[in-house]
Amino acid sequence: MALDKNGIAKRIAKEVKDGYFVNLGIGIPTLVANFVQEDISVEFQSENGVLGMGPFPFDGEEDADLINAGKQTITALDGASFFDSAMSFSMIRGQHVDLTILGAMEVAENGDIANWKIPGRLVKGMGGAMDLVASADNIIVAMMHTNKKGASKLLKRCTLPLTGVNCVKKIVTNLAVLEVTSKGFKLLERAPGVSVETILEATDGHVIIDGEIPEMDL
């Protein structure tokens, strides 16, 4: 059974380690804060100047004055700090962020990412994504494996304008966990009940399969 957005976020949360400073992009990545282990200490950062983001707010509990870089309402943990964008981007460009979790419209088998523009359509724009992909060493992408028409979003080459090149390390979709290697997407895990054949059919880029592929442990 393919994962929903919360399932993707729950799986990515397992990649978050104790002591990490983590940048959360807009969309699915904001949900990751809801699923981090309670026994570890993690600081979530948003490039508009927040350090110490908490879980995504429940309906009716939103604070309209507390938002992330994508204008989504967020929560703040005790001890959270707020600062200007110059300070926030100095953290990013100075490589003080241990893990960056981004959404994407397309990812190529060589690690290129397109997540800021669809020609002819109004989208949120670049934001801090270009700085993040240029500065971060550890980038995980949270995304749906295919678009609404069923076309793959994991491609040989991106067709949309690029945000960054050769930068994505790992991808977690509703179907699978894949690592970006020099030879293509390496399939690491599959969603519960999803077959390897289904993943191959949904992936346009080259997929490497090495032995038995386990199901995700959620």
Residues 6+ apart with CB under 8 A from 48: 67, 68, 69, 85, 88
The per-residue b/e assignment along 2-40, b for 16 or more CB within 10 angstroms, e otherwise, is bbeeebbbbbbbbbbeeebebbbbbbbbbbbbebbeeee
C-alpha dihedral (111, 115, 121, 126), degrees to nearest 10: -130
The secondary structure of residue 169, as a DSSP letter, is: -
62 classed as catalytic: no
**What ranges make up the beta strands (E) of the chain?**
21-24, 43-46, 50-53, 76-82, 99-103, 106-108, 113-114, 139-142, 154-155, 170-172, 176-181, 184-190, 207-208
The whole-angstrom separation of Cα 152 and Cα 135 is: 27
Q: 10 is written with which tokens?
A: 């729950």
Catalytic residue among 47, 106, 109, 189: 47
* Residues involved in catalysis: 47
